[in-house]
Amino acid sequence: MRGRGGRARRHGSDHAPTQPPRRRIDAGRGRGAAGGREHSTGADGRGRAGDRQETTGRFVEPLGRHHRAALSRSRQEVQGGAQADPFALTVALPARAKLNLDLEVTGRTGDGFHQLRTTFQAIDLHDLLEIEHASETTFTTSGFDVAKTNNSVLNAHQALEKAAQKTLPARIHLHKRIPPGSGMGGASSDAATTLRALKTMFGLDAL
């Protein structure tokens, strides 16, 4: 309805379009005095700022149910009650295969092992080690078969515990892609990578 002066009357819900039941950013200037939205244009035919703000509100709202929610005061708390887990870190490192470019036996030690001089070249083929904190140590594998007890990964883990003089409980998974017994140094690379990962996780860089 129009008044005598030809101006549109805005009385709350008179002629107000149906509002979708969703939250949006309160643009402040993009709504009528009692909740009806304005869709008028300026003198040049372009939409007013209120229209653009209203459109922005409809776009931003679906981004998440925590929109406009108060931030938690705790730095360890995520909105919704979930607590940050300080032991949730997972270290994933490649253990690369190696090729012997040359090999020379230079002697034998008193315990029967040979002394070697060799030149290695790392290649793209690699195993993948994933290690994370746990209440007790477990070891799982995928890919090529690996001994579950006497293997280079667990031997390296036990050696580091002995050097650190404390237990280092971890969940260890080895995805074996280097064929065992292929002569490409997979086992020794797995051991070295295990030591790197555990020293990083437990802050043992001094060892």
pLDDT tens-digit series, residues 61-103:
444 444 444 544 444 444 444 454 555 688 999 999 999 999 8
If 0-12 CB within 10 Å is exposed, 13-18 middle and 19+ buried, where does residue 112 land? exposed
Task: Specify the number of domains making up the chain.
Answer: 2
Range list of H helices, 109-184: 152-164
Same-domain status, 118 and 33:
no
Is there a single domain that holds both residue 99 and residue 184? yes
CB neighbours of 134 closer than 8 A, spacing ≥ 6?
A: 169, 170, 171
Q: What is the pLDDT of residue 127?
A: 98
Mean pLDDT of the chain: 75
pLDDT at 97: 98
pLDDT at 159 over 70: yes
Q: Note the pTM of the prediction, 2 decimals.
A: 0.56
What's the CATH number where 175 sits?
3.30.230.10
Q: Which has more confidence, 125 or 2?
A: 125
Residue 205 pLDDT > 90: no
Measured CA angle at 121 (ends 120, 124), to 5 deg = 140
Give the per-residue pLDDT at 113. 93
Q: What is the structure's pLDDT at 48?
A: 53
pLDDT tens by residue, 172-201: 999 999 999 999 999 999 999 999 999 999
- Same domain, yes or no, for 36 and 100? no
The C-alpha atoms of residue 187 and residue 127 are separated, in whole angstroms, by 9
Domain contains 83 = no
Q: Do 112 and 156 lie in a common domain?
A: yes
Tell me what percent of the residues of the chain surpass a pLDDT of 70.
57
Q: Which domain holds residue 150?
A: 90-201
Write down the pLDDT at residue 202: 93
The reply to whether 107 and 171 lie within a common domain is: yes
The pLDDT of residue 121 is: 96
Q: pLDDT for 14-31, tens place per residue?
A: 444 444 444 444 444 444
Q: Are residues 99 and 64 in the same domain?
A: no
53 with 108, same domain?
no
Q: Does residue 84 lie in a domain region? A: no
206 — pLDDT class (breaks 50, 70, 90): confident
